[in-house]
Amino acid sequence: MSSRNDGSGAPRGSTGSIEADHILRKLEGGGQRPVAQTARALKLPKVKAPSLDNLQVTVPQDSDITQEELLMRFHEMVRAHSATRERAPGEPVQLGDTVVLDTLGYAQGRLIPFSAKSGLEMEMAPSDLLPGLPEGLVGTPVGGGQEVQVTLPDTYPVEHLRGVHATFLVDVVAAREVTIPDAESDAFVRKLGRGTTLEAVMESLADEIANERADDMWLEAQERVLDELVLRTEVPLTVELVDEEIRQAWSATEARLLAQKDFAPDELQESLDGWLDDPTTRLEAERRLRIAFALRAIIERDQLQLTPEKMDEVLQEAVVPFGLSLEEARRALAHPTTAEGVRNAAMQVMAVRHVMGKAQVRFEGVPGVFTGNGKQLR
């Protein structure tokens, strides 16, 4: 993949400095640093801990599961159970393949923020997010590259680039040919392990989606509680603090890939400027910082202590499900380069749980009131 062209970008992934995945990134050596480290050289504002009294939120009722959503989940399951063959280096990719890509986008002569992706796995099928990209890759050899022209849709995450003509530079790192069987045959339906009939499989998938949505509603409850916390906390943020928060996120993600691609210093600065100038990114960074400062103040006021037992509990619940063992997490805590980051991130997770335990959550359409930790109050 060459470093300079004119074209478009790809959407950025979600970020957050207080969630469990923050700890995972710490253990993997990436991610953003907590406030104490992010702004070590900057003057930190003094923040008064917000009251946790009458901390109440209501989560809107979720929409019904659509047929399109159910069919897409079934499609994904069928592909997961289909026969595959690794395409050899130099072999051209085709529609229907699963491909692993490195992508880089340009538009209006500049690198698009968040467009540098490494190891992006996707199905070679029409895309609503990047119309024409999979079709433009047809025939590209594994190990080769392609320049693909697209017009960014009205739903593109970078708002000011919606409707703009863009160019993607794409390297095809790997590809698998996928042979789809007769998905409605009795033999294949039984192979899925979700029942003996197609109707039973669909019911199982509907239950799966419903359970995921229930989990998402609890995550939404947490986000709403944290937003309420922000409203109750006066945090005099400076431009420098927000810039540093964004810079650390950029350094841990897009900057690494661009450095591997031998981008020049001025091109790296262009990439960073795209992040710094993006309004949505700035709002997200401000929110993360406000939450982090509020939690830090609550930790001090309420004298929260991260005992070894609580540390193991946080690591067990927040890290182990992502594939790391508790022993690996403990080793990270013992290593000088990762210990402080892991401990600070774990403290933030503990503080979130403390706050959620004080909150009252209502779910539209569900009787009762709950604490943010799932205990029903009435």
Higher pLDDT, 108 or 37: 108
Residue 111's alpha-carbon distances to 2, 117, 152, 253, 268, in angstroms, are: 12, 13, 14, 15, 9
Q: Once rounded to an integer, what is the mean pLDDT over residues 160-168?
A: 94
Q: Which whole number is the average pLDDT over 212-233? A: 94
Q: Please report the pLDDT score of residue 344 as a whole number.
A: 79
227 and 56 in contact (C-beta within 8 Å)? no
Does the pTM exceed 0.85?
Answer: no
pLDDT per position as a tens digit, 283-312:
999 999 999 999 999 999 999 988 888 887
Q: Which of 22-26, 157-161, 290-294, 364-368 has the lowest mean pLDDT?
A: 22-26
* Residue 127 burial class via C-beta count within 10 angstroms: exposed 0-12, middle 13-18, buried 19 and up: middle
Q: Which of 83-87, 155-159, 344-348, 372-376 is modeled with the greatest confidence? A: 83-87
pLDDT at 225 over 60: yes
Q: How much of the chain exceeds pLDDT 70, in percent?
A: 87
Residues 359-377 have a mean pLDDT of 88
In tens, the pLDDT along 10-66 reads 332 332 333 344 444 444 443 334 444 444 467 888 999 999 999 999 999 989 999
